[in-house]
Structure 1
Amino acid sequence: MSKINSKKDISIVVADDHPLLLNGLVHELHSHNYTHVHKATNGKNALKLILSIEPNIAMLDIHMPELNGFEVIEQARKKGCKTNFIILSFHKQSEYLEKAKSLNINGYLLKEDDFEEIEKCINSIENNVFYLSKSLDTSQNENLPNDLILVEKLTTSEKKILKLVTKQFSNAEISDYLSISVRTVEKHRSNIIQKLELVGGTNSLTNWALTNKNSIDLL
Protein backbone atom coordinates (compact mmCIF):
# COMPACT_ATOMS: atom_id res chain seq x y z
CA MET A 1 0.00 0.00 0.00
CA SER A 2 1.39 3.39 -0.93
CA LYS A 3 2.11 5.91 1.81
CA ILE A 4 -1.10 7.47 3.07
CA ASN A 5 -1.19 10.92 4.64
CA SER A 6 -4.56 10.72 6.36
CA LYS A 7 -7.05 8.18 7.64
CA LYS A 8 -9.55 9.89 5.35
CA ASP A 9 -7.53 8.68 2.36
CA ILE A 10 -7.86 5.01 3.35
CA SER A 11 -10.66 2.99 1.81
CA ILE A 12 -11.70 -0.12 3.73
CA VAL A 13 -14.03 -3.03 3.06
CA VAL A 14 -15.23 -5.01 6.08
CA ALA A 15 -16.89 -8.39 5.52
CA ASP A 16 -18.57 -10.48 8.21
CA ASP A 17 -21.86 -12.37 8.34
CA HIS A 18 -22.50 -11.45 11.98
CA PRO A 19 -24.41 -8.10 11.91
CA LEU A 20 -23.44 -7.03 15.44
CA LEU A 21 -19.73 -7.60 14.83
CA LEU A 22 -19.86 -6.06 11.36
CA ASN A 23 -21.77 -2.95 12.37
CA GLY A 24 -19.72 -2.56 15.54
CA LEU A 25 -16.44 -2.55 13.65
CA VAL A 26 -17.77 -0.18 10.97
CA HIS A 27 -18.93 2.18 13.74
CA GLU A 28 -15.50 2.04 15.40
CA LEU A 29 -13.76 2.82 12.11
CA HIS A 30 -16.03 5.79 11.50
CA SER A 31 -15.54 7.08 15.03
CA HIS A 32 -11.77 6.95 14.50
CA ASN A 33 -12.04 9.09 11.35
CA TYR A 34 -11.91 6.37 8.72
CA THR A 35 -14.53 7.76 6.36
CA HIS A 36 -14.35 5.46 3.32
CA VAL A 37 -15.71 2.26 4.87
CA HIS A 38 -17.83 -0.27 2.99
CA LYS A 39 -19.37 -3.48 4.31
CA ALA A 40 -20.48 -6.88 3.05
CA THR A 41 -22.32 -9.71 4.77
CA ASN A 42 -21.11 -12.61 2.63
CA GLY A 43 -18.04 -13.59 0.66
CA LYS A 44 -19.59 -13.21 -2.79
CA ASN A 45 -20.64 -9.61 -2.14
CA ALA A 46 -17.29 -8.90 -0.50
CA LEU A 47 -15.42 -10.08 -3.59
CA LYS A 48 -17.65 -8.05 -5.90
CA LEU A 49 -17.11 -4.95 -3.76
CA ILE A 50 -13.35 -5.45 -3.53
CA LEU A 51 -12.96 -5.92 -7.27
CA SER A 52 -15.19 -2.92 -7.95
CA ILE A 53 -13.51 -0.32 -5.74
CA GLU A 54 -10.16 -2.04 -4.99
CA PRO A 55 -9.89 -0.62 -1.46
CA ASN A 56 -6.60 -0.08 0.33
CA ILE A 57 -7.63 -2.66 2.93
CA ALA A 58 -10.16 -5.48 3.20
CA MET A 59 -10.90 -7.00 6.62
CA LEU A 60 -12.42 -10.44 6.17
CA ASP A 61 -13.96 -13.03 8.44
CA ILE A 62 -12.98 -16.58 7.47
CA HIS A 63 -16.36 -18.30 7.72
CA MET A 64 -18.93 -16.54 5.53
CA PRO A 65 -21.73 -17.70 3.21
CA GLU A 66 -21.17 -17.95 -0.56
CA LEU A 67 -17.35 -17.68 -0.33
CA ASN A 68 -15.18 -17.92 2.76
CA GLY A 69 -12.55 -15.30 3.49
CA PHE A 70 -9.71 -17.37 2.05
CA GLU A 71 -11.62 -17.95 -1.19
CA VAL A 72 -12.29 -14.22 -1.50
CA ILE A 73 -8.57 -13.50 -1.20
CA GLU A 74 -7.62 -16.23 -3.68
CA GLN A 75 -10.07 -15.02 -6.30
CA ALA A 76 -9.18 -11.36 -5.80
CA ARG A 77 -5.46 -12.13 -6.14
CA LYS A 78 -6.11 -14.08 -9.36
CA LYS A 79 -7.83 -10.97 -10.75
CA GLY A 80 -4.70 -8.93 -9.98
CA CYS A 81 -6.29 -7.03 -7.11
CA LYS A 82 -3.72 -5.01 -5.11
CA THR A 83 -5.86 -4.67 -1.97
CA ASN A 84 -4.16 -5.44 1.35
CA PHE A 85 -6.00 -8.21 3.19
CA ILE A 86 -6.51 -8.60 6.94
CA ILE A 87 -8.08 -11.75 8.34
CA LEU A 88 -10.26 -10.98 11.36
CA SER A 89 -11.19 -14.25 13.06
CA PHE A 90 -11.85 -16.16 16.27
CA HIS A 91 -9.40 -18.86 15.18
CA LYS A 92 -6.04 -19.09 16.95
CA GLN A 93 -5.02 -22.49 15.54
CA SER A 94 -1.78 -22.53 13.58
CA GLU A 95 -3.36 -24.15 10.52
CA TYR A 96 -5.60 -21.11 9.95
CA LEU A 97 -2.69 -18.72 10.31
CA GLU A 98 -0.52 -20.73 7.95
CA LYS A 99 -3.30 -20.93 5.38
CA ALA A 100 -3.65 -17.16 5.60
CA LYS A 101 0.10 -16.67 5.24
CA SER A 102 0.16 -18.93 2.19
CA LEU A 103 -2.17 -16.40 0.53
CA ASN A 104 0.27 -13.58 1.30
CA ILE A 105 -2.14 -11.72 3.52
CA ASN A 106 -0.99 -8.53 5.22
CA GLY A 107 -2.39 -9.01 8.70
CA TYR A 108 -4.07 -11.52 10.99
CA LEU A 109 -6.19 -10.23 13.86
CA LEU A 110 -8.49 -11.84 16.40
CA LYS A 111 -12.03 -10.65 17.03
CA GLU A 112 -11.15 -10.34 20.70
CA ASP A 113 -8.57 -7.62 19.88
CA ASP A 114 -9.33 -4.02 20.79
CA PHE A 115 -9.43 -1.25 18.21
CA GLU A 116 -5.92 -0.11 19.12
CA GLU A 117 -4.66 -3.44 17.78
CA ILE A 118 -6.56 -2.89 14.52
CA GLU A 119 -4.95 0.52 14.08
CA LYS A 120 -1.51 -0.94 14.73
CA CYS A 121 -2.21 -3.46 12.00
CA ILE A 122 -3.31 -0.77 9.55
CA ASN A 123 -0.18 1.28 10.31
CA SER A 124 2.06 -1.75 9.81
CA ILE A 125 0.46 -2.49 6.46
CA GLU A 126 1.00 1.15 5.46
CA ASN A 127 4.71 0.49 6.01
CA ASN A 128 4.59 -2.83 4.12
CA VAL A 129 5.06 -4.88 7.28
CA PHE A 130 3.01 -8.01 8.02
CA TYR A 131 1.11 -7.69 11.30
CA LEU A 132 0.16 -10.53 13.63
CA SER A 133 -2.21 -10.05 16.55
CA LYS A 134 -0.41 -9.77 19.86
CA SER A 135 -3.16 -11.98 21.30
CA LEU A 136 -1.72 -14.94 19.45
CA ASP A 137 0.93 -17.18 20.92
CA THR A 138 3.54 -16.41 18.27
CA SER A 139 6.00 -18.94 19.61
CA GLN A 140 3.38 -21.62 18.96
CA ASN A 141 2.62 -20.41 15.47
CA GLU A 142 6.19 -19.97 14.30
CA ASN A 143 6.63 -23.73 14.03
CA LEU A 144 4.11 -25.90 12.25
CA PRO A 145 4.20 -29.64 12.88
CA ASN A 146 6.57 -31.21 10.38
CA ASP A 147 3.90 -33.40 8.78
CA LEU A 148 1.79 -30.35 7.92
CA ILE A 149 4.80 -28.65 6.37
CA LEU A 150 5.27 -31.76 4.22
CA VAL A 151 1.77 -31.31 2.81
CA GLU A 152 3.08 -28.31 0.87
CA LYS A 153 5.16 -30.73 -1.22
CA LEU A 154 2.00 -32.25 -2.67
CA THR A 155 0.78 -31.36 -6.15
CA THR A 156 -2.69 -29.92 -6.71
CA SER A 157 -3.95 -33.33 -7.85
CA GLU A 158 -2.48 -35.03 -4.78
CA LYS A 159 -4.14 -32.48 -2.50
CA LYS A 160 -7.50 -33.16 -4.15
CA ILE A 161 -7.08 -36.86 -3.52
CA LEU A 162 -5.99 -36.25 0.06
CA LYS A 163 -9.20 -34.30 0.68
CA LEU A 164 -11.24 -37.20 -0.66
CA VAL A 165 -9.32 -39.60 1.56
CA THR A 166 -10.51 -37.55 4.57
CA LYS A 167 -14.06 -38.30 3.38
CA GLN A 168 -13.11 -41.98 3.35
CA PHE A 169 -13.60 -42.38 -0.40
CA SER A 170 -12.31 -45.69 -1.75
CA ASN A 171 -9.85 -45.73 -4.66
CA ALA A 172 -12.71 -46.66 -6.99
CA GLU A 173 -14.86 -43.78 -5.70
CA ILE A 174 -11.97 -41.34 -6.11
CA SER A 175 -11.46 -42.67 -9.61
CA ASP A 176 -15.10 -42.03 -10.52
CA TYR A 177 -15.20 -38.63 -8.81
CA LEU A 178 -12.06 -37.30 -10.54
CA SER A 179 -12.57 -39.20 -13.81
CA ILE A 180 -9.18 -40.85 -13.63
CA SER A 181 -8.17 -44.51 -13.57
CA VAL A 182 -7.87 -46.51 -10.38
CA ARG A 183 -4.23 -47.12 -11.26
CA THR A 184 -3.65 -43.35 -11.36
CA VAL A 185 -5.31 -42.99 -7.96
CA GLU A 186 -3.07 -45.71 -6.55
CA LYS A 187 0.00 -43.98 -7.97
CA HIS A 188 -1.03 -40.67 -6.44
CA ARG A 189 -1.66 -42.29 -3.07
CA SER A 190 1.75 -43.92 -3.19
CA ASN A 191 3.36 -40.56 -3.97
CA ILE A 192 1.45 -38.88 -1.14
CA ILE A 193 2.57 -41.53 1.36
CA GLN A 194 6.16 -41.05 0.24
CA LYS A 195 6.04 -37.25 0.42
CA LEU A 196 4.42 -37.29 3.86
CA GLU A 197 7.05 -39.77 5.00
CA LEU A 198 4.41 -42.16 6.32
CA VAL A 199 5.03 -45.78 7.19
CA GLY A 200 2.57 -48.66 7.34
CA GLY A 201 1.06 -48.63 3.85
CA THR A 202 -2.29 -47.36 2.58
CA ASN A 203 -4.04 -47.43 5.96
CA SER A 204 -1.41 -45.08 7.36
CA LEU A 205 -2.52 -42.43 4.85
CA THR A 206 -6.18 -42.81 5.77
CA ASN A 207 -5.40 -42.64 9.49
CA TRP A 208 -3.16 -39.60 9.04
CA ALA A 209 -5.73 -37.83 6.86
CA LEU A 210 -8.54 -38.36 9.38
CA THR A 211 -6.32 -37.13 12.22
CA ASN A 212 -5.42 -33.96 10.31
CA LYS A 213 -8.79 -33.43 8.61
CA ASN A 214 -9.25 -29.85 9.82
CA SER A 215 -5.92 -28.79 8.38
CA ILE A 216 -6.47 -30.66 5.10
CA ASP A 217 -9.85 -28.96 4.63
CA LEU A 218 -7.97 -25.64 4.43
CA LEU A 219 -5.80 -26.73 1.49
Structure 2
Amino acid sequence: MFNKKDISIVIADDHPMLLRGLLDEFEANGYNVIGNSANGTQALEQILNLQPTIAILDIDMPLLSGFEIVKMAKEKYVKTKFIIFSYHREAEFVIQAKSLQIDGYLLKEDPFIEIEKCMDAVLNDKVYFSSSFNSQNLNDVSNEIKKLNWLTPSEITILKLIAQEKTNTEIADILSISVRTVEKHRSNIISKIWNNKTSKTLSAWAITHKNLIINY
Protein backbone atom coordinates (compact mmCIF):
# COMPACT_ATOMS: atom_id res chain seq x y z
CA MET A 1 0.00 0.00 0.00
CA PHE A 2 1.29 3.47 -0.89
CA ASN A 3 2.05 6.21 1.63
CA LYS A 4 -0.70 8.83 1.40
CA LYS A 5 1.75 11.65 2.11
CA ASP A 6 3.92 10.71 -0.86
CA ILE A 7 1.29 11.28 -3.54
CA SER A 8 -0.43 14.41 -4.83
CA ILE A 9 -3.90 14.44 -6.40
CA VAL A 10 -5.85 16.67 -8.77
CA ILE A 11 -9.61 16.11 -9.07
CA ALA A 12 -11.91 17.41 -11.81
CA ASP A 13 -15.70 17.10 -12.00
CA ASP A 14 -18.28 19.60 -13.24
CA HIS A 15 -20.89 18.52 -10.66
CA PRO A 16 -20.26 20.81 -7.63
CA MET A 17 -21.73 18.40 -5.06
CA LEU A 18 -19.82 15.40 -6.41
CA LEU A 19 -16.60 17.40 -6.58
CA ARG A 20 -17.05 18.69 -3.03
CA GLY A 21 -17.97 15.24 -1.74
CA LEU A 22 -14.96 13.60 -3.38
CA LEU A 23 -12.65 16.32 -2.14
CA ASP A 24 -13.99 15.98 1.43
CA GLU A 25 -13.57 12.19 1.29
CA PHE A 26 -9.95 12.43 0.21
CA GLU A 27 -9.09 15.06 2.79
CA ALA A 28 -10.87 13.15 5.58
CA ASN A 29 -8.74 10.13 4.71
CA GLY A 30 -5.48 12.05 4.84
CA TYR A 31 -4.76 12.47 1.13
CA ASN A 32 -2.92 15.43 -0.38
CA VAL A 33 -5.30 17.04 -2.88
CA ILE A 34 -3.36 19.89 -4.51
CA GLY A 35 -5.97 20.96 -7.06
CA ASN A 36 -9.62 20.65 -8.01
CA SER A 37 -11.60 22.07 -10.90
CA ALA A 38 -15.02 22.05 -12.52
CA ASN A 39 -13.97 22.37 -16.16
CA GLY A 40 -11.52 20.66 -18.45
CA THR A 41 -9.32 23.64 -19.30
CA GLN A 42 -8.62 24.43 -15.66
CA ALA A 43 -7.98 20.77 -14.92
CA LEU A 44 -5.43 20.55 -17.74
CA GLU A 45 -3.68 23.71 -16.53
CA GLN A 46 -3.44 22.28 -13.01
CA ILE A 47 -2.04 18.99 -14.27
CA LEU A 48 0.58 20.67 -16.44
CA ASN A 49 1.57 23.21 -13.78
CA LEU A 50 1.35 21.06 -10.65
CA GLN A 51 2.40 17.69 -12.11
CA PRO A 52 0.31 15.64 -9.65
CA THR A 53 0.99 11.97 -9.01
CA ILE A 54 -2.62 11.15 -9.89
CA ALA A 55 -5.39 13.00 -11.73
CA ILE A 56 -8.97 11.81 -11.23
CA LEU A 57 -11.15 13.08 -14.07
CA ASP A 58 -14.80 13.08 -15.02
CA ILE A 59 -15.41 12.48 -18.73
CA ASP A 60 -18.18 15.00 -19.44
CA MET A 61 -16.91 18.46 -18.53
CA PRO A 62 -17.14 21.91 -20.11
CA LEU A 63 -14.38 23.07 -22.48
CA LEU A 64 -12.39 19.81 -22.46
CA SER A 65 -13.54 16.25 -21.75
CA GLY A 66 -11.61 13.95 -19.46
CA PHE A 67 -10.37 12.02 -22.48
CA GLU A 68 -9.19 15.21 -24.20
CA ILE A 69 -7.31 16.21 -21.05
CA VAL A 70 -5.51 12.87 -20.94
CA LYS A 71 -4.57 13.03 -24.62
CA MET A 72 -3.25 16.60 -24.38
CA ALA A 73 -1.39 15.99 -21.13
CA LYS A 74 0.28 12.87 -22.52
CA GLU A 75 1.43 14.87 -25.53
CA LYS A 76 3.32 17.01 -23.00
CA TYR A 77 4.90 13.84 -21.53
CA VAL A 78 3.58 14.38 -18.01
CA LYS A 79 4.17 11.47 -15.64
CA THR A 80 0.78 11.79 -13.94
CA LYS A 81 -1.33 8.64 -13.60
CA PHE A 82 -4.82 9.18 -15.02
CA ILE A 83 -8.00 7.73 -13.52
CA ILE A 84 -11.39 8.28 -15.17
CA PHE A 85 -14.27 8.72 -12.71
CA SER A 86 -17.60 8.52 -14.52
CA TYR A 87 -21.15 7.22 -14.73
CA HIS A 88 -20.41 5.87 -18.21
CA ARG A 89 -19.94 2.10 -18.44
CA GLU A 90 -20.78 1.74 -22.14
CA ALA A 91 -18.33 -0.08 -24.41
CA GLU A 92 -17.54 3.02 -26.48
CA PHE A 93 -16.16 4.78 -23.39
CA VAL A 94 -14.15 1.74 -22.33
CA ILE A 95 -12.73 1.58 -25.86
CA GLN A 96 -11.64 5.21 -25.71
CA ALA A 97 -10.09 4.71 -22.28
CA LYS A 98 -8.13 1.68 -23.42
CA SER A 99 -7.03 3.28 -26.66
CA LEU A 100 -5.66 6.23 -24.66
CA GLN A 101 -3.96 3.78 -22.27
CA ILE A 102 -5.65 5.33 -19.27
CA ASP A 103 -4.37 3.90 -16.00
CA GLY A 104 -7.68 3.49 -14.20
CA TYR A 105 -11.42 3.70 -14.80
CA LEU A 106 -13.85 3.98 -11.89
CA LEU A 107 -17.61 4.36 -11.74
CA LYS A 108 -19.19 7.03 -9.59
CA GLU A 109 -21.23 4.49 -7.67
CA ASP A 110 -18.03 2.77 -6.49
CA PRO A 111 -17.24 3.00 -2.76
CA PHE A 112 -14.17 4.93 -1.62
CA ILE A 113 -12.30 1.69 -0.93
CA GLU A 114 -12.52 0.94 -4.67
CA ILE A 115 -10.87 4.28 -5.39
CA GLU A 116 -8.05 3.39 -3.01
CA LYS A 117 -7.61 -0.02 -4.66
CA CYS A 118 -7.42 1.69 -8.04
CA MET A 119 -4.82 4.20 -6.87
CA ASP A 120 -2.74 1.44 -5.32
CA ALA A 121 -2.82 -0.49 -8.59
CA VAL A 122 -1.94 2.39 -10.90
CA LEU A 123 0.89 3.51 -8.63
CA ASN A 124 2.30 0.03 -9.10
CA ASP A 125 2.06 0.44 -12.88
CA LYS A 126 -1.03 -1.74 -13.24
CA VAL A 127 -4.19 -0.88 -15.17
CA TYR A 128 -7.31 -0.96 -13.00
CA PHE A 129 -10.94 -1.00 -14.11
CA SER A 130 -13.80 -0.91 -11.61
CA SER A 131 -14.88 -4.33 -10.41
CA SER A 132 -18.37 -3.33 -11.56
CA PHE A 133 -17.26 -3.82 -15.17
CA ASN A 134 -17.83 -7.17 -16.83
CA SER A 135 -14.40 -8.79 -17.22
CA GLN A 136 -15.40 -10.53 -20.46
CA ASN A 137 -16.39 -7.21 -22.03
CA LEU A 138 -13.05 -5.71 -21.02
CA ASN A 139 -11.23 -8.66 -22.58
CA ASP A 140 -13.24 -8.28 -25.79
CA VAL A 141 -12.23 -4.63 -26.05
CA SER A 142 -8.58 -5.49 -25.42
CA ASN A 143 -8.69 -8.09 -28.19
CA GLU A 144 -10.02 -5.51 -30.66
CA ILE A 145 -7.17 -3.15 -29.77
CA LYS A 146 -4.62 -5.94 -30.31
CA LYS A 147 -5.86 -6.26 -33.90
CA LEU A 148 -4.86 -2.66 -34.57
CA ASN A 149 -1.38 -3.27 -33.20
CA TRP A 150 -0.73 -5.65 -36.10
CA LEU A 151 -1.26 -2.92 -38.70
CA THR A 152 1.24 -0.53 -40.27
CA PRO A 153 0.78 3.27 -40.02
CA SER A 154 -0.44 3.35 -43.62
CA GLU A 155 -3.01 0.63 -42.91
CA ILE A 156 -4.20 2.49 -39.82
CA THR A 157 -4.68 5.63 -41.93
CA ILE A 158 -6.75 3.66 -44.45
CA LEU A 159 -8.77 2.01 -41.67
CA LYS A 160 -9.60 5.38 -40.09
CA LEU A 161 -11.03 6.57 -43.38
CA ILE A 162 -12.98 3.33 -43.79
CA ALA A 163 -14.41 3.90 -40.29
CA GLN A 164 -15.60 7.31 -41.51
CA GLU A 165 -17.48 5.48 -44.28
CA LYS A 166 -15.28 6.76 -47.09
CA THR A 167 -15.36 4.80 -50.35
CA ASN A 168 -12.22 3.43 -51.99
CA THR A 169 -12.36 6.25 -54.54
CA GLU A 170 -12.71 8.90 -51.83
CA ILE A 171 -9.82 7.39 -49.85
CA ALA A 172 -7.66 7.36 -52.97
CA ASP A 173 -8.43 11.04 -53.62
CA ILE A 174 -7.76 12.06 -50.01
CA LEU A 175 -4.41 10.24 -49.86
CA SER A 176 -3.42 10.91 -53.49
CA ILE A 177 -2.97 7.22 -54.23
CA SER A 178 -4.61 4.86 -56.69
CA VAL A 179 -7.82 2.94 -55.99
CA ARG A 180 -5.83 -0.24 -56.60
CA THR A 181 -3.43 0.75 -53.79
CA VAL A 182 -6.39 1.31 -51.45
CA GLU A 183 -7.76 -2.12 -52.37
CA LYS A 184 -4.35 -3.67 -51.67
CA HIS A 185 -4.25 -2.03 -48.24
CA ARG A 186 -7.76 -3.29 -47.49
CA SER A 187 -6.72 -6.80 -48.48
CA ASN A 188 -3.65 -6.63 -46.22
CA ILE A 189 -5.75 -5.38 -43.28
CA ILE A 190 -8.24 -8.21 -43.72
CA SER A 191 -5.48 -10.84 -43.91
CA LYS A 192 -3.90 -9.54 -40.70
CA ILE A 193 -7.12 -9.27 -38.69
CA TRP A 194 -9.08 -12.28 -39.99
CA ASN A 195 -8.91 -15.16 -42.42
CA ASN A 196 -11.32 -15.49 -45.34
CA LYS A 197 -13.30 -12.31 -44.63
CA THR A 198 -14.60 -9.81 -47.19
CA SER A 199 -14.10 -6.09 -47.76
CA LYS A 200 -17.73 -5.61 -46.72
CA THR A 201 -17.00 -7.29 -43.39
CA LEU A 202 -14.05 -4.93 -42.84
CA SER A 203 -16.23 -1.87 -43.47
CA ALA A 204 -18.89 -3.07 -41.04
CA TRP A 205 -16.27 -3.83 -38.36
CA ALA A 206 -14.54 -0.46 -38.84
CA ILE A 207 -17.79 1.49 -38.56
CA THR A 208 -18.82 -0.45 -35.44
CA HIS A 209 -15.44 0.25 -33.80
CA LYS A 210 -15.11 3.82 -35.09
CA ASN A 211 -14.27 5.34 -31.70
CA LEU A 212 -11.53 2.83 -31.08
CA ILE A 213 -10.00 3.28 -34.54
CA ILE A 214 -10.19 7.09 -34.66
CA ASN A 215 -8.60 7.43 -31.23
CA TYR A 216 -5.90 4.82 -31.86
TM (normalized to structure 1)? Answer: 0.76
Contact kept, 8 Å, 1:161 with 1:174, in 2: the verdict is yes
> In the aligned structure 1, how far is the partner of 2:122 from the partner of 2:204?
41
Contact kept, 8 Å, 2:81 with 2:122, in 1: the verdict is yes
When residues 167 and 126 of structure 1 are mapped into structure 2, their CA distance, relative to the original with a 3 A threshold, is closer
Shift of 1:200: 4.9
When residues 106 and 212 of structure 1 are mapped into structure 2, their CA distance, relative to the original with a 3 A threshold, is closer
User: What do the CA deviations read for 1:59-91 (whole angstroms, capped 9, x no partner)?
Assistant: 123344544433432332332211121122334
Describe how 1:1-219 pairs up with structure 2 within 5 A: 5-7=3-5, 9-93=6-90, 96-97=93-94, 99-101=96-98, 103-144=100-141, 146=143, 148-177=145-174, 179-183=175-179, 184-197=181-194, 199-219=196-216
Shift of 1:55: 0.4
When residues 128 and 172 of structure 1 are mapped into structure 2, their CA distance, relative to the original with a 3 A threshold, is closer
When residues 193 and 66 of structure 1 are mapped into structure 2, their CA distance, relative to the original with a 3 A threshold, is farther
User: What do the CA deviations read for 1:73-121 (whole angstroms, capped 9, x no partner)?
Assistant: 2332332211121122334356644653454443221121012211222
Tell me which amino acid in the other structure corresponds to 1:185.
V
Contact kept, 8 Å, 1:198 with 1:204, in 2: the verdict is no
Ranges in structure 1 where 5+ consecutive residues have no aligned partner: none
Once superposed, which parts of structure 1, at least 4 consecutive aligned residues long, lie more than 6 Å away?
none
Determine what percentage of the aligned residue pairs are the same residue: 46
Moved more, 78-87 or 47-56: 78-87
Ranges in structure 2 where 5+ consecutive residues have no aligned partner: none
Contact kept, 8 Å, 2:84 with 2:105, in 1: the verdict is yes
TM (normalized to structure 2)? Answer: 0.77
> In the aligned structure 2, how far is the partner of 1:189 from the partner of 1:67?
34
Contact kept, 8 Å, 1:171 with 1:182, in 2: the verdict is no
Aligned length, in residue pairs: 215
